[in-house]
Amino acid sequence: MSSSEGAATGVSGVPRMAAGPSEPRGSHDEDLAGRYARVRGQSEALCEPLAIEDYGVQPMDDASPPKWHLAHTTWFFETFLLKEFATDYQAFDDRYEVLFNSYYNGIGNPYPRPRRGFLSRPTVGEVYDYRAHVDNAIAGLVTREDGEIRQRIELGLNHEQQHQELMLTDLKYNLGLNPLKPAYRQDLDREAGGSGPLKFDDYPGGILSVGAGGPFCFDNELPRHRVLLEPFALAGRLVTNAEFLEFMEDGGYESPALWLSDGWAAVCANGWKSPLYWRSQETRSQETRRQETRNQDGRNQDGGWLEYRLGGERPLVPDDPVVHVSAYEADAYARWAGCRLPTEFEWESAAAPQDPRAGNFADDRRLHPASVEWRGREGVQRRETGAGNQFYGDAWEWTSSAYGPYPGYRTPPGALGEYNGKFMSNQLVLRGGSCATPRGHVRASYRNFFYPPHRWQFSGIRLARDLA
């Protein structure tokens, strides 16, 4: 799937902790069968807080219902593993080949994406039976010492992790636009911390190697190749809500000179006045607002805004990173701040020495970007070494780089060649993963991609500037 294609069981009407399996810190020795069970189980754990009614909702064309995510990730293993390598495999239902195909024209004509929410059948229970059927069959493949099979299973697991993130972002779009503002879970960490002053780190540039070099990567991270970078500087953390509020209060959304032409057209057409999920408190009672927005000094620091998070709607936290902005908003903010967005290779070269597991990921049960210093269940938590600059986790970082092929890139043969390559048009690259990404899924060379107006992903802003 493409990252923009949209990837995500128990049923309960009451949100509760999904105590699903998370990425173990020392998992390098985990065998493929164990990893398969853990990743597949995590998709179902993410659905534990859902009510049965939540499974089928498709709030917009880009956001798929949880039931569809659960079935499509299963379809991937059935189509690209079982039907090709398990000679005695009996399909669970032959009709699912069309129904849960996302966009692989080489497999057949997919069921239309905007109609995924129309499907009350198969039922949620039948989709779970489908998952169990495929898991039982995969058990016969996962221990085979066949390089192609093992590589495909690894791809299927990374694909499922992409859909786990999409399941959370699609659920947020569903719940966050509901006037009742229901929480996905009530038990998420949401303590605020500090952001500190914005500082820039200088990088000398030069001729540098970029692209994947590890044991697993997607085809769009290859081939590894050299690039020339002029000297540049990158901000040492993400842009905060308080900083973005300054842009808004300075008339940022009313100043066409700050915007790309397509961006200004999007502002006018959509009536954007703030990031997605922000809501002015003007309509709330004075007393409610006084109770909710006073800090220890009794001052209001949220600018009068509420923000919907997966834990529910709360007063805006000034020091948390701003999130759910389009590339256009990120670009306009950077211009207003006298800076620009990084290129994807500036980002990659700066982030490569850092630990890609040391950040705020979905496993951390916050499901929202965190300030550089933050307080969790166990008191003040300092970011781990290498995570203080927020390169990994928290929010995907828009870059100014068009999503295109690297020199020498060729799409893989067969229908799997449709996974990434055919989307290399009119999209921008985002880097670093988010608070909804499973820990261990991203790396320095990982390229996410979305269209510039998209705001429903956990997308944020890092500033860059030239060193003349």
Residue 423 C-beta: closest distance to Fe ion, Å: 12
Q: Which of 358, 357, 364, 369 is nearest to 441 (CA)?
A: 357
State the distance between the two ends of the chain, measured CA to CA, in whole angstroms: 41
- Eight-state DSSP code of residue 221: G
Dist. CA 338–CA 435, nearest whole Å: 28
Q: Per DSSP, what are the bridge partners of residue 202?
A: 233
Containing H/E element for 401? strand 396-402
Residue 446 C-beta: closest distance to Fe ion, Å: 16
Dist. CA 430–CA 145, nearest whole Å: 35
Cβ-proximal residue to Fe ion, closest one: 1
Which stretch in 102-110, 125-133, 197-205, 417-425 sits in contact with Fe ion by CB under 5 A? Answer: 102-110
The tally of CA atoms less than 13 A away on the side-chain side of residue 94 is 1
Closest to Fe ion by CB, 1 or 316 = 1
Closest to Fe ion by CB, 102 or 390 = 102
Closest to Fe ion by CB, 102 or 457 = 102
Only one residue has tokens 């990120």, namely: 330
Q: For residues 430 and 375, is the Cβ–Cβ distance under 8 A?
A: no
Residue 164 C-beta: closest distance to Fe ion, Å: 11
Residue 155 C-beta: closest distance to Fe ion, Å: 11
Instruction: Provide the 10 A C-beta neighbour count for residue 290.
Output: 11
Which stretch in 91-99, 101-109, 278-286, 367-375 sits in contact with Fe ion by CB under 5 A? Answer: 101-109
Which one among 3, 9, 101, 102 touches Fe ion, defined by CB under 5 A? 102
Which stretch in 97-105, 165-173, 236-244, 330-338 sits in contact with Fe ion by CB under 5 A? Answer: 97-105
Residue 314 C-beta: closest distance to Fe ion, Å: 32
Residue 206 C-beta: closest distance to Fe ion, Å: 38
ω into residue 223 within 30 of 0, thus cis? yes
Show the binding pattern over residues 158-197: x = contacts Fe ion (CB under 5 A), - = does not: ----------------------------------------
Residue 1 touches Fe ion, criterion: CB under 5 A: yes
Residues in contact with Fe ion, counted by CB under 5 A, come to a total of 2
Please report the beta strands in 113-216, taking only residues with DSSP state E, as ranges in sequence order.
200-203, 206-210
Residue 270 C-beta: closest distance to Fe ion, Å: 27
Which stretch in 100-108, 323-331, 376-384, 415-423 sits in contact with Fe ion by CB under 5 A? Answer: 100-108
460 three-state secondary structure: strand
Closest to Fe ion by CB, 161 or 195 = 161
In angstroms, what CA-CA distances link 109 with 99, 101, 106, 455? 9, 8, 8, 29
Residue 55 C-beta: closest distance to Fe ion, Å: 18
Show the binding pattern over residues 240-269: x = contacts Fe ion (CB under 5 A), - = does not: ------------------------------
Residue 8 touches Fe ion, criterion: CB under 5 A: no
Closest to Fe ion by CB, 102 or 371 = 102
Q: Which of 422, 403, 426 is nearest to 411 (CA)?
A: 422
Closest to Fe ion by CB, 173 or 423 = 423
Q: State the amino acid at position 169 in one-letter form.
A: T
Which stretch in 96-104, 209-217, 387-395, 422-430 sits in contact with Fe ion by CB under 5 A? Answer: 96-104
105 three-state secondary structure: coil
Residue 416 C-beta: closest distance to Fe ion, Å: 11
Residue 389 touches Fe ion, criterion: CB under 5 A: no
Residues whose CB is less than 8 angstroms from the CB of residue 42 and which lie 6 or more positions away in sequence, other chains included: 20, 21, 22, 161, 164, 438
Residues whose CB is less than 8 angstroms from the CB of residue 12 and which lie 6 or more positions away in sequence, other chains included: 48, 49, 50, 51
Q: For residues 320 and 370, is the Cβ–Cβ distance under 8 A?
A: yes
Closest to Fe ion by CB, 349 or 420 = 420
Residue 437 touches Fe ion, criterion: CB under 5 A: no
Residue 165 C-beta: closest distance to Fe ion, Å: 11
Q: Which residues bind Fe ion (CB under 5 A)?
A: 1, 102
